[in-house]
Amino acid sequence: MDEKKDEVSRWFSSIRDRIVDEFFVIESEFSDKVPDVSRRSWQRDGGGGGESVILRGSVFEKAGVNFSVVHGKMGENFSTEIPGAVESGGQFWASGVSVVAHMCSPHVPAIHMNTRFICTAKSWFGGGIDLTPMYSNDDDTSFFHDNLRAMCDLFDNQYYGKFKANCEEYFYLPHRKEPRGVGGIFYDYLQKDFDRDFSFTRAVGECFLSVYPAIVKKRMYKRWTEEEREHQLIKRGRYVEFNLLYDRGTRFGIMTNGDPDALMMSMPPVVKW
């Protein structure tokens, strides 16, 4: 299992680097202004750590890309919520990459992508991609979902429908009675075949790199008004509400003593209610 853990964490680290590089390319195509980038490494009390990269530029108002490998023992109460954690005595290992981009333009949708591998007495992959436009665009939504479907169908023609439904159920704000965005795919507890499940998880990362930059480049030059900016900031409030109230990853990080700043990486830089 240690070799598998190393293989997975190396992939997550490499896709993180490629995503950051691609965001730099987009910034350079849009403007000669060099974006501000901060890299911060952190260590987890109890074992492991990670690195958070925050990019702020002319296209990406704030893009956070986080990679982590953490291990140790989780609290007894939280162990009952995680498959295999009771059997492992609370011992766990987890690695993943997460991306959240909040854009300068209200016409460029926000994006979230996360893939992870978690080991207790059991081991499984999870993750997904979801798109949050400030203003709905049917062309972008169709392009996004068509590519997700094509990617999923390479592995199982049931995946897209199942994972799309998971996403719609998960990224929903019950107190608002509205979805966070236009959906995507969301999967968890993928554990039947390591090689196949890891291959699918890699495909999710590759799909992100091919689809989201294409949407950004298509929309980033469109001008916007102050009213559209105001709408964007209010829409971002829904993002904050979901992540603080419902997001499993945020809760997992908090309950396993993760780095607070890395956990809050997904928060938009400016928001209104």
The residues carrying an active-site annotation are 112
Phi and psi at residue 84, in whole multiples of 5°?
Answer: 80, -5
Phi and psi at residue 155, in whole multiples of 5°?
Answer: -110, -45
Spatial distance between the Cα atoms of 154 and 165, rounded to a whole number of angstroms? 18
Q: Which amino acid is at 143?
A: F
CA dihedral defined by 26, 219, 63, 209, rounded to 10 degrees?
A: -60
Check if the beta carbon of residue 121 is closer than 8 Å to that of residue 98. Answer: no
Degrees, nearest 5: CA angle 73-79-81 = 145
Check if the beta carbon of residue 60 is closer than 8 Å to that of residue 261. Answer: no
7-40 per-residue burial string, b: 16 or more CB within 10 A, e: under 16: ebbebbbebbeebbebbbebbeebeeeebeeeee
